[in-house]
Structure 1
Amino acid sequence: MNNPMLVAVRTLLKETFDGPEENASWYTEAKPGSGLFGTLEKLSAKDASVSVNGTTIAAQTDHTRYYLWVANSYLNGEEPKKDWEASWKITNINEMTWEQFNEELRQEYTTLLNKIDSLDSLDEETSHSLLGAIAHSAYHLGSIRQMSKVIKVQSQI
């Protein structure tokens, strides 16, 4: 990949989801497990079902997956029918559903990385889609990390 912007987009998405590479970071904590997948793997379905300020980590996770699905659809030239509210209704999930949410998130992320790898250049719409995916996913990573701290404290009370 010779396009510096595509390299940067891929690097920041990988940091958001996989975590930073070898104690180096552009914006997350520079330690293993700081990305979304590392954060989520430390949580059980029970943890993901705890409501914090009116939402759950399960809902945040599925919403992030859904956003990536929408972005992937647009990048494939499709106009997806969107239901942004659906993921926010998720409350109590079991371990099987939690595993499914995490796997589907990983699939959408992998699809997006593969799409980035297939690009040679960026037009304005693609740039917006990719930068939006970074910003949106980073926002939910921060939300989930903060929520997990609250859940940890609540479980110790």
Structure 2
Amino acid sequence: MGIVNSELLSRGVALLLNEAFAGPSGGGSWFTDEDPDSGVLGTLESLTAAEASVPLTAGDAATAASHASHLRYALHLANRAMKGENPYRDADWQGSWSTTTVSDTTWRELKDALKLEFETLKAAISDPAVWSSDKRVFGMMGNIAHSAWHLGALRQALGLVATPAPKRED
């Protein structure tokens, strides 16, 4: 296998980031359900503010709203990193979970802010120059894994993950 060029890397990362947030683009999926709305944004869009404010698991205060807030913050930091900043040294990860309850208005604002951070990051990674930094390459790979984990946690907790039917022994 030859060296992966920055254009191919950029396209691959953009495809996976897009799948994590917007859902798969036609022709199949790498890790989400094939439903067009199976990404983070579509999953969150299916929830009312009241539903987004309910803890996802017993004994844990995390809600869909807090996952959305945390992901928005993670993408915000990634956008800063793409500009050459080091936003992680003083990142407030714990604070990124503080939004647990939302009104209709704040839920819409949070989803819009998350979508804006996603679109900003998607535009930033389309520039092949950003791939000249190991930290950016590994950071984006980590960001995709992180986003996919939260997508899975949300969909599992919301009962949106289909369990394959057991194979019949005929």
TM norm structure 2: 0.82
Q: 1:74 aligns with which of 71, 76, 81?
A: 81
Q: Which residue, 41, 47, 69 being the options, matches 1:62?
A: 69
Decide whether the 8 Å contact of 1:23 with 1:31 is kept in 2: no
User: Partners in 1 of 2:139 and 2:145 — Cα distance?
Assistant: 10
For 1:2 and 1:148, the matched residues in 2 are separated by: 37
| Residue type of the alignment partner of 1:137 | S
Identity of aligned residues (%): 37
> What per-residue deviation string (whole Å, max 9, x for no partner) do you get for residues 19-45 of structure 1?
111251111111221111111111001
Between structure 1 and structure 2, the one with the greater Rg is: 2
Q: CA deviation at 1:75?
A: 1.5
Superposition deviation, residue 2 in structure 1: 6.4
Aligned equivalents of 2:39, 2:56: Cα separation in 1: 20
* Uncovered stretches (5+) of structure 1, i.e. residues with no partner: 151-157
Once superposed, what is the RMSD of the aligned Cα atoms? 1.7
Task: Flag the structure with higher helix content.
Answer: 1
Give the structure 1 partner of residue 93 of structure 2.
84
Identify the match of residue 36 of structure 1 among 19, 40, 44.
Answer: 40
What is the distance in 2 between the residues matched to 1:132 and 1:122? 17
2:52 to 40, 44, 48: 48
User: What is the identity, as a one-letter code, of the residue corresponding to 1:84?
Assistant: W
- Report whether the alignment pairs 1:11 with 2:15: yes
- Conserved? CA contact 1:57–1:147, under 8 Å: no
Alignment equivalent of 1:110, drawn from 119, 134, 141:
119
- The aligned amino acid for 1:68 is L
Stretches of structure 2 that go unaligned for 5 or more consecutive residues are 161-170
Alignment size in residue pairs: 150
Q: Is contact 2:6-2:128 (8 Å) kept?
A: no
Runs of 4+ in 1 over 6 A off after TM superposition: none
CA distance in 2, matches of 1:86, 1:19: 27
Q: Distance in 2 between matches of 1:43 and 1:72?
A: 26
